[in-house]
Structure 1
Amino acid sequence: MTTKPMTKTQLVAALAEEMGADKKTASAAIDAVSAVVLREVAAGGAVTLPGIGKIMCRARPERQVRNPATGETMTKPADKAVKVTVAKALKDAVND
């Protein structure tokens, strides 16, 4: 059964209730965490969110890829990808 993901508005409201603070403070907290994660991962680092997981930037080498429409093989230049590793605590909570 698929449910819709929580929106930012819903997340702000839930965080404000959990923190016992107002929505403005909760929104500022979410924005600050997002900014720190974005800045650190864009610089090639990693951020661990305790109980949730680790977000990191991973370099991918140059490689051969195939265009599925034409079957043509081409070289894709090296790039970076964001990788998220889910924490064991979150996996265990989901599987209980």
Structure 2
Amino acid sequence: MNKKGLLIKMSEKSGLTQKDAELALKAFIESVEEALECGEKVQLIGFGTFETRQRAERQGRNPSTGEEITIPASVVPAFKVGKKLKEKVKEAHK
């Protein structure tokens, strides 16, 4: 499902217009981004948790030359699936 499909689903389920659903989705995304930028977690019980994780500096290889390179440490966004969502997906794929 792409963004347009998601907006259609959201408007059908909520009774919002697609324009209002788009505003709600945009506000949600911006709120999560701002929280992650500040180092905060966004926890939606049963759905999952958006958080940041530290990646340590590590060695890698340039795929075109085979030359060994150092990949610097970084902070990356991550999503940890909640128990309820995990169970729903597992049940749907039995």
The match for 2:55 is 60
What do residues 1-52 of structure 1 show as CA deviations (whole Å, max 9, x unaligned)? Answer: xxxxx12122112111211222221111100000001111122222123332
| Structure 1 gap segments, 5+ residues each | 1-5
Task: Supply the distance in 2 between the matched residues of 1:24 and 1:68 (Cα, whole angstroms).
Answer: 44
TM-score (norm 2): 0.81
* Residue type at the aligned position of 1:26: A
* Residue type at the aligned position of 2:3: K
Alignment counterpart, residue 8 of structure 1, candidates 3, 6, 15: 3
| Structure 2 gap segments, 5+ residues each | none
Return structure 1 stretches of 4+ with deviation > 4 angstroms.
Answer: none
Q: Does 1:46 align with 2:31?
A: no
Alignment counterpart, residue 89 of structure 1, candidates 81, 84, 89: 84
Residues 30 and 66 of structure 1: CA distance in aligned 2, closer, same or farther (over 3 Å): same
Task: Supply the distance in 1 between the matched residues of 2:45 and 2:11 (Cα, whole angstroms).
Answer: 19
Pairwise CA distance, 1:73:
2.6
How well do the aligned residues superpose, as a CA RMSD in angstroms? Answer: 1.7
